[in-house]
Amino acid sequence: MGSLMTVLTNPWVIMAIKIGVGLGLVMGMVPMMVWMERKVSARFQLRRGPNRVGPFGLFQLIADSLKLLWKEDFLPRNTDRIIFLAAPIMAFLPGVLSFALIPIGVAGGNELLGPGGVMAVSYISMGLLVAMAVSSVAAYGIAFAGWASNNQYSLLGGIRSSAQLISYEIVMGMAVVSLLMMTGTLNLGEIVQQQQELLFGFIPSWNIIRQPLTFILFLVAAFAETNRAPFDLPEAEQELVGGYHTEYTGMRYAWFMNGEYAAMFTMCSILTTLFLGGWGFPGLGRLSGILHLVVLGQDIQWMLVGLITFGAFFTKVALLVFFFMWVRWTLPRFRWDQLMKLGWNVLIPLGLANIIGTALFLEYVASRFGFGG
Amino acid sequence: MTEYIIIGVFALVGILFAGAAMVFSRLAAPRFPDVGKKLNSYESGEDAIGSARIQFKIGYYLFALVFLVFDVEAVFLFPVLGVLRSAGSATASGSILSPLFVWCELLLFIAILAFALFYAWKKKVLEWE
């Protein structure tokens, strides 16, 4: 037992476990979300969805993955070979990588998993900035795919997508700027901690309540950044066939899809962390207090708190994912010029106004009434 | 520092994971010879006319330029905002700047940007026909 603990507390072993859990969580969620999307869309259209293979059609995901693995893998003529092969990985990686920065729970005061017991694959003080930077790399994957395919549909899809991603990245950046003014920190763990107090004694002081306009701006930008409907123009079937992945088949195509769902999962996690109180919920402090009274080993207490906070985080993320699907199967797609107009002529001016408004609010209202963070 | 190493290793593991799946698929999947037009680009079943290396609308470049302005702005705003509240609200902590001065600076910076956006808007850079 003693030797087991020395192995488990070795920093390299902890690192390996963290990476395994982080990657496993996202890669495990991707097929689940595909299954969920099919079920949700089916219910929205009064169908049943997959229900033949295994209970509730759950084994359908295994069947689909195996099918994709055993599809013939060939390069179309005149493609730019290296870029063509690198693009799926570049599109997939950012979604997974930015998930590594998100704190998914807190294990009491157990310093083993991270400073202050915050459970994140990588817990750094500039977390939010790094996450934003990493997730913006996804645009390159899509632009490269469009270029390397040597197909006019792919090219147009790729260019449209990069234009869309950079436009909405500005909106997202401005939303983060307003939020940053309120929080005063880029540390994702601290941002979650700040949201654990109660406003006026009964409202959870989540940033969605403290900064509703910022939340809306960020949410709209999140839809656009993950290429989800109503902003899924890069793959508008009616105009551009498959968009940037028209020429991709088999496993390479699968990485684009994995990337899309991984990005959606990560984006929902970021939204939860920034605006919905992350791992916390009202009453968490009291619950930990009760756990403290029940005589248990400290390790078991930490483990329980860790599991409960992770459960809270995961529930919020799952609800947001459902919301993303709900929107996809309810709203029609924007036309291209409408999309750009919404971004540049509505959301960016709103974002600028929001920054100024937040600055004035913090200076003249919040500091007087102790409302700020 | 270890936390940054973890991100690097995580990225590496991610790339290897994705690469391994593609290599596995390459080894496991059947291969069929190309008879006819299998390797042609897919353009709705028709033969592709010309290359895809075409000239596209200049508007995309203009968007990219305006984007650059705003992205650099965000980079400037992040550190400013990081210290803004301590500089703006606490004269007691030894700050020599008055709060009003700091806030006016910020507003001036944003006003210049807003003017840039307004200019691009009036020049019809942001419009698609």
ipTM: 0.82
Lookup result for tokens 């072993």: A13
- Residues whose CB is less than 8 angstroms from the CB of residue A250 and which lie 6 or more positions away in sequence, other chains included: A68, A69, A71, A72, A73, B25, B29
CB–CB of A173 and B48 under 8 A?
A: no
Q: B4 in contact with A at a CB cutoff of 8 Å?
A: yes
Q: B54 in contact with A at a CB cutoff of 8 Å?
A: yes
CB–CB of A101 and B99 under 8 A?
A: no
Q: Do residues A181 and B84 lie in contact, with contact meaning Cβ atoms separated by under 8 Å?
A: yes
CB–CB of A122 and B85 under 8 A?
A: no
Chain A to chain B, count of Cβ pairs less than 8 Å apart? 202
- Asked if residue B89 has pLDDT above 60, the reply is no
CB–CB of B70 and A170 under 8 A?
A: yes
- Asked if residue B92 has pLDDT above 50, the reply is no
Read off the pTM: 0.88
Q: Domain residues of chain B, as ranges?
A: 2-47, 58-122
CB neighbourhood size of A349 (10 A): 15
A152 to chain B: which residues are within 8 Å by CB?
Answer: 41, 43, 48, 52, 54
Q: Which pLDDT score, from 0 to 100, does residue B95 have?
A: 54
Tokens representing A180 are 């940053």
Q: Which pLDDT score, from 0 to 100, does residue A373 have?
A: 42
Which residues, numbered 82 to 111 in chain B, qualify as contacts with chain A under a Cβ-Cβ cut-off of 8 Å?
Answer: 82, 84-86, 88-89, 99, 103, 106-107, 110
**From first to last of its 373 residues, what are the pLDDT tens digits of chain A?**
556 667 777 778 888 888 888 888 888 888 889 899 999 999 999 988 888 888 888 888 888 888 888 888 878 877 888 888 888 888 889 888 888 888 888 876 666 666 777 788 888 888 888 888 888 888 888 888 888 888 888 888 888 888 888 888 889 888 988 888 888 788 888 888 888 877 766 777 788 888 889 999 999 999 988 888 788 776 666 667 777 788 888 888 888 888 889 999 999 999 999 988 888 888 777 777 777 777 667 777 778 888 888 898 999 999 999 999 999 888 888 888 888 888 888 898 898 889 888 877 777 766 665 554 4
How much is the mean pLDDT over chain B?
A: 77
- Asked if residue B116 has pLDDT above 80, the reply is yes
Burial A183-220 (b: 16+ CB within 10 A, else e): bbbbbbbbbbbbbbeeeeeeebbbbbebbeebbbbbbb
Q: B69 in contact with A at a CB cutoff of 8 Å?
A: no
Q: Which pLDDT score, from 0 to 100, does residue A237 have?
A: 65
- Residues whose CB is less than 8 angstroms from the CB of residue A160 and which lie 6 or more positions away in sequence, other chains included: A233, A234, A240, A243, A336
CB–CB of A70 and B29 under 8 A?
A: yes
Q: Do residues A290 and A122 lie in contact, with contact meaning Cβ atoms separated by under 8 Å?
A: no
Which residue does chain B place closest to A26, by CA atoms? B14
Of the pLDDT bands very low, low, confident and very high (cuts 50, 70, 90), residue B94 is low
Q: Do residues A131 and B7 lie in contact, with contact meaning Cβ atoms separated by under 8 Å?
A: no
Tell me the C-alpha distance between A286 and A289, whole Å.
5
Which residue does chain B place closest to A250, by CA atoms? B25
Q: Which pLDDT score, from 0 to 100, does residue A218 have?
A: 92
Which of B86 and B91 is assigned the larger pLDDT?
B86
Mutation site, B2, B4, B10, B107, interface A, largest A CB count within 10 A: B10
- Residues whose CB is less than 8 angstroms from the CB of residue A310 and which lie 6 or more positions away in sequence, other chains included: A104, A105, A119, A279
CB–CB of A122 and B25 under 8 A?
A: no
B15 to chain A: which residues are within 8 Å by CB?
Answer: 89, 93
Of B22, B29, B42, the CB nearest to A151: B42
Tokens representing A17 are 């476990």
Tell me the C-alpha distance between A244 and B64, whole Å.
19
- Arithmetic mean of pLDDT, B106-122: 84
CB–CB of B40 and A345 under 8 A?
A: no
Q: How many CA atoms lie within 13 A of A265 on its CB side?
A: 32
Of A163, A241, A345, the CB nearest to B44: A241
Q: B55 in contact with A at a CB cutoff of 8 Å?
A: no
Tell me the C-alpha distance between A122 and B96, whole Å.
37
CB–CB of A177 and B74 under 8 A?
A: yes
Mutation site, B41, B57, B122, B128, interface A, largest A CB count within 10 A: B41
Of the pLDDT bands very low, low, confident and very high (cuts 50, 70, 90), residue B46 is confident
CB–CB of B40 and A252 under 8 A?
A: no
Quote the longest CA-to-CA distance of chain B.
80
Task: Measure in Å the smallest separation between the Cα of B62 and chain A Cα atoms.
Answer: 10
Burial A66-85 (b: 16+ CB within 10 A, else e): eebbebebeebebbeeebbe
Q: Domain residues of chain A, as ranges?
A: 74-369
Which residue does chain B place closest to A161, by CA atoms? B60
